[in-house]
Structure 1
Amino acid sequence: MTLLGWIGILVVILTVVALAKRWETRLVLFTSGAVLCCLSMEPLTTLNAFAKSMTNSGLITAICTSMGFASVLTYTKCDQHLVALLSKPIRGLGIFLIPVCTAVTIMVNVVIPSASGVAAAVGSTLIPVMLRAGISPAGAAASVMMGTIGGVLSPGSAHNPYVAKMANMDVMDFIALHFPYSMIMFAIAVVGILIVAMLFRDKGASENTGVIDESKRVQLVENPNFIYAFIPVFPVLILFLGNTIIPSIKMGVAQAMLVGTILCLLVTRTNPQEFSKQFFSGMGKGYGEILGIIIAAGVFAAGLTATGLVQSFVDLLKESNDIARWGGSFGPWCLGVITGSGDASTFAFNEAVTPHAQHFGMEVPNLGALAFLAGVLGRTASPISGAMVVVSGIAMVNPLEVSKRTFVPSLIALIALALTIV
């Protein structure tokens, strides 16, 4: 390897350290990419990569409309109606509250893709229920945290349209491709969190063992409205039916989110002017926070390519399918655990390596899906991820205690995916 390549590796290590220290993700990725491009004597590559990622139309429409829809759900409290409706029937299940709460969180996360948002909404309701049932605070928080992997099946998740566009696939076709593997991951998560709870003896604590931080709770509605609760599900239902049994209503993610937004306005009858402000504010937030990471990851990947590191890595992966399998799984997973973000590592990997999948005997959508799911599992096991901080704050427990319980199911699910998905 050349001197430039070794310098590139040093920059990558420093990038990981900066992300682990919780420095601003977009700044870190952009700066690292710019430094690598300049060291490679290709400074304009930074600007070209930035401009190219800014105008990715397929991603902009899907991600921004999904975030706009999520914003109006929060504004109208339809998301809270959904959580309250799902949480009512599960009280009094004893130790089985833990896997059931994980399953409920997974279902909510499918229709509301934000991990931190779901952790706050679901955790506010289900963690007190589990504490009153005698489940330890760490076990209750881990149950909800483990369920934040459900967003992998959401059309509103940024990674689904990202990999789908890379593979020249429809978003729903890509979700259908990794659906069976995602279900394997869900099954391992639900069963695994129950077994871990038994090993840690999380059931048997007194009712007053756990104390809730009321300042971090989301006050949910006491009497959920079924129609309000149905609105978050509506766009997902349209996309599913349109791609399966009713092809006449088949539409894109952006169109489905707009239909859901209009239905939300008609049903909730909120102030149209304020409603509109919330929707477009959510769209702007989607571009700034999610597409911003994609843009910065594109610059970082351009820097890695300019130094020759990507080509060196691809040449290594060509030697063995197994190297690619474990590199595409443990790489994003480890970075997710270390940095607390499944986004930065996954976007960077999929931008730099996944397009070359066929060179080492793999398919682009399969490798992209593996990296995506691995990054989510890594984030779920990380004690410093945003969602982990939220659930730990609600239960008033050390995040490391929660991470101990999600780590093993996450690792087992990762190995299962690596063995089956490619």
Structure 2
Amino acid sequence: MILVSCLLIVLTITLVLRGVDVRLGLMGCALAIGALAGGVEKIIQEFFITLCAEKFVVPICCAMGFAYVLKHTECDQHLVRLLTNPLRRIRFFLIPGVILVGFTVNIPVISQTSTAVCIGTVVVPIMKAAGFSALTIGSTLLLGASIGGELFNPGAPELNTVAIALNVDSKTVMRSILPLILPHLLVASLVFWLLRTREEKRIVRDKEAEPQPSSQLPVNYFQAIVPLLPLAFLIVTGPPLSWIQIPKQWLTDAKSVQLFDARLIGTAMLLGCIVATASNPGKFPGIAKSFFQGVGYAFAEIVSLIVVAQCFGKSLSLIGIADRIEGFIKDHESTLLPLATIIPGAFAYVSGSGMAATSSLYKIFVQPSINLGHDPMDVGALVSIASAAGRTMSPFAAVALMSAQLTGTNPFSLVRRVAGPLIIGLIVAVVLRSLHWI
């Protein structure tokens, strides 16, 4: 049964690589494996349970609704201008600067594709004027928008996957990711910067770089800080600060206290929408429409992937593949961290989705982590970062396709330029975690 299931998985991967929608492929594979194991009803049950899971739907949809409101009120553009204006005068730091800008903007705007569009309209002309090649611009945009900034947003689906599995809040998981993501970001960015700088020196251009336009749009500082306000609200209302205590009965009743964290994230995003509206009152008539367009986008592009990924993960449990992996890790303790990096990263590469990889595969590593004395939250952080890296290296990911479209390049060429730095960054993070240095 396991052999046939593995063949089905290989067939699914082949179909996805040939252009079949990843949702269709994963759901079809989950149902086929479920039928093989005699548990189709469990796959269907998992589908409906996840489709209506408030802990997933509320924070993700509200966060994306807020991102659309930021776009509608132009607050996102003011944040990008604030971050990029210093880069206009220093060409040498443009590459790492754009990566950092993309990482920062991806925190409130949890969609990598939306982040690429948001910063691309500003940084692409700047980098073109500075004389960078289209491939360097596109790969820099891709790396910054997709390396993992969303993992600092409590509404990120990867955080909620780990939080639900461990029965903790997403802000606790976010704090566990910090020691891993920073060295990964630093190493990957530095390696990428070095390689691209060497490549740029070898490029022979037919003409000098176009002069950079002297005029630039002004920055409204109030609008520029609006995208960060929900995150600030969540920081001051939760541990370890807890400066402001929100009564649980404001958001839940006695029977649903466990939903408080998800609803608190949603509340923070709604408050952000109110402040965004106040920052640009002329946009008030379209606020509600923009918010619900973002909610719809989140459900169609993010929640849908989580649903089918959960079903796929359930099918792996039904046939015992998860147990086999757990048994292998138990017998070979040293493989826990490498496998927690390689398996989700490879799945994210094939599917083009980091959230699908985390949602479907993280549970496999929870019990082995506990049995071997590792903190499962730290392993969850590694799975999340590896999934983000796999997505960034995938030519099928929406953010890679958008970065290529914005710069007139090929997504396969872009991912080849980010793959090496990301892999090196992951290796450094795994080694540091293995040595208990972080």
TM-score > 0.5 by shorter chain? yes
CA contact (8 A) 1:319 1:360 kept: no
C-alpha deviations, 1:43-95, integer Å up to 9, x for none?
A: 21122111222232222221121111112112222112211222111113223
Q: How does 1:405-420 map to 2 (within 5 A)?
A: 405-420=417-432
CA offsets, 1:106-126, max 9 Å, x none?
111112111111111212211
Instruction: Give the aligned residue type for 2:265.
Output: V
Distance 1:225 1:249, change over 3 A: farther
Question: Map of 1:13-162 to 2, 5 A cutoff?
Answer: 13-148=10-145, 149=147, 150-162=149-161
CA distance in 2 between counterparts of 1:210 and 1:390 reads 24
Alignment check: 8 A CA contact 2:64 2:109 kept = no
1:132-155 deviations in whole A, cap 9, x for unaligned?
Answer: 112222112222211122222222
Q: Does residue 1:327 correspond to 2:339, yes or no?
A: yes
Q: Do the aligned partners of 1:40 and 1:306 also contact (CA within 8 Å) in 2? A: yes
CA contact 2:401–2:411 (8 Å) conserved in 1: yes
- Give 2:383's match in structure 1, choosing from 371, 378, 390: 371
CA contact (8 A) 1:314 1:356 kept: yes
Q: Give 1:104's aligned amino acid.
A: V
1:222 CA drift (Å): 2.4
1:238 equivalent in structure 2? 233
Aligned counterparts of 2:310 and 2:415: Cα–Cα separation in 1: 30
Amino acid in structure 2 at the alignment position of 1:172: K
> 2: CA distance between counterparts of 1:203 and 1:89?
27
Alignment-derived partner of residue 183 in structure 1: 182
* Mean CA deviation greater in 19-28 or 245-254: 245-254
Counterpart-to-counterpart distance in 2, 1:272 and 1:111: 21
Q: Per-residue deviation at 1:159?
A: 0.8
CA distance in 2, matches of 1:374, 1:270: 42
Counterpart position of 2:6: 9
Matches within 5 A, 1:306-385: 306-354=318-366, 356-385=368-397
State the SS of the aligned residue for 1:41.
coil
- Match for residue 243 of structure 2? 247
- C-alpha root-mean-square deviation of aligned residues, in Å? 2.4
1:281 partner amino acid: Q
Give the match for residue 173 of structure 2.
174
Q: What is the TM-score with the length of structure 1 in the denominator?
A: 0.90
Report the counterpart of residue 217 of structure 1 in structure 2.
none
Alignment partners' CA distance in 1, 2:204 and 2:104 = 27
* Structure 2 residues without counterparts, runs of 5 or longer: 211-215, 247-260
Aligned to 2:200, what secondary structure does the other structure show? coil
* Counterpart-to-counterpart distance in 1, 2:428 and 2:121: 31
**CA-to-partner distance for each residue in 1:318-369, whole Å, 9 max, x for gaps?**
1122222111101122233334322322221124444553234433222221
Distance in 1 between residues matched to 2:303 and 2:403, nearest whole Å = 26
Report the counterpart of residue 386 of structure 1 in structure 2.
Answer: 398
Asked if residue 222 in structure 1 is aligned to residue 223 in structure 2, the reply is no
Partner of 2:107, secondary structure, is helix
Aligned equivalents of 2:177 and 2:287: distance in 1? Answer: 35
Task: Quote the Cα distance in structure 2 between the aligned partners of 1:51 and 1:206.
Answer: 56
Q: Which amino acid aligns with 1:223?
A: P
1:300 aligns with 2:297: no
Secondary structure of 2:301's counterpart equals helix
Aligned-pair CA distance for 1:296: 0.9
2:237 maps to a residue whose letter is: G
Does the Cα contact within 8 Å between 1:189 and 1:410 map onto a contact in 2? yes
Q: CA deviation at 1:273?
A: 5.0
- Would the aligned equivalents of 1:153 and 1:182 in 2 still touch at CA under 8 Å? no
Q: Which amino acid aligns with 1:312?
A: R
User: Residues of 1 paired with 2:207 and 2:344: CA distance?
Assistant: 39
- Report the Cα offset of residue 382 of structure 1: 2.4
**After superposition, what is the alpha-carbon deviation per residue over 1:244-289, rounded to whole angstroms, capped at 9, x for unaligned?**
5452156732221121112112222245453112212322332332
Q: CA deviation at 1:127?
A: 2.0
Give % identity: 24
Cα distance change of structure 1 residues 22 and 76 upon mapping to structure 2, 3 Å threshold: farther
Q: Which SS does the other structure have where 1:201 is aligned?
A: helix
Aligned equivalents of 1:397, 1:207: Cα separation in 2: 19
* Residues in 2 aligned to 1:287 and 1:356: alpha-carbon distance in whole angstroms: 32
Q: Distance in 1 between matches of 2:352 and 2:18?
A: 10
Letter of the structure 2 residue corresponding to residue 241 of structure 1 = V
Q: How many residues were matched structurally? A: 411
> What SS class does the counterpart of residue 300 from structure 2 fall into?
helix
Which whole-Å CA distance do the structure 1 matches of 2:50 and 2:73 have between them? 33
Indicate how the Cα distance of structure 1 residues 205 and 262 shifts in structure 2: closer, same or farther if over 3 A, else same.
Answer: farther
TM-score by length of 2: 0.87
